[in-house]
Amino acid sequence: MTAITAKTRAVLLDIEGTVTPISFVHEVLFPFARNHVREFLVQHLKRPEVQTDVTALVREHAADAERSEQTRPIDAESIDSIIDYVNWLIERDRKSSALKSLQGKIWEEGYRDGSLKAPLFDDVVPNLQRLRANNFQVAIFSSGSILAQKLLFAHTRTGDHTDLIDAYFDTGVGSKMEAGSYHRIAHELDLEAEAIVFVSDVVNELKAAREAGMKAILCVRPGNPVQPQSEEFQRIHSFSDVLTIS
């Protein structure tokens, strides 16, 4: 059964575990950022946009310290202390906007020099092409920064596919597990929530999208963790299962 109905005007997609394997994020992107953060900060710490990320990290660190989650000090002028906190956030897979922004800048260098190439699932590109050809909007909502999202689609193993994406959203619109974020995305797309299909591999994200009024579809890919309460949602194993124009 297709999720595309007469009301559908846009498809909103998660990235990790939906368009690209989770292993690419956890086994390639995260280690790349961790391994190159020192070199990057040594070269670029004084850049205004990097200073913005560091200032935001210091703020987040203060909040963690207030909750007694973080005891090591951080100093905006100390690369070692910044790296300690960055690694602490990475180890906990924290959805930190400052961390994601900094990681995106590190990944940018890796994509541009060819060290990084994103693997998209084989069914992604042909089905997005079909959607675009039939005048559906295609948007991305990921906890990774908008920069990181654009870089990923621009540097895939099959080339630059940014022409297939109309809009990108990150946690600047809010948490992926809060209905308000999906309301804001619908507003930005100038659509009613009911006109949007959201596809993700995480049930709690789907619940938030459904609460906002979107149609929510669970994407099951190789390597994805089993999701509790997944029976509440229509499941797909390939975009061909659902992103097909009838």
Contact 143, 176 (CB under 8 A): yes
Contact 184, 2 (CB under 8 A): no
> Per-residue DSSP letters for 37-82?
HHHHHHHHTTSHHHHHHHHHHHHHHHHHHHTTS--S---TT-HHHH
Which two tokens mark 71? 């005891």
First to last CA, the chain: 10
Residue 243's pLDDT band, with cuts at 50, 70 and 90, is low
Note the Cα 154 to chain centre separation in Å.
Answer: 15
Which two tokens mark 180? 């308000």
- Highest mean pLDDT of the ranges 66-75, 92-101, 220-229: 220-229
Residue 109's pLDDT band, with cuts at 50, 70 and 90, is very high
Q: What is the mean pLDDT of the chain?
A: 93
Lowest-confidence region among 138-142, 164-168, 202-206, 228-232: 228-232
Buried b (16+ CB within 10 A) or exposed e, 15-48: bbbbbbbbebbeebbbebbbebbeebbeeeeeee
Q: Is the pLDDT of residue 1 over 80?
A: no
pLDDT in tens, 173-215: 999 999 999 999 999 999 999 999 999 999 999 999 999 999 9
Range 121-150 average pLDDT: 94
Residue 244's pLDDT band, with cuts at 50, 70 and 90, is low
CA–CA separation, 101 and 144 (whole Å): 8
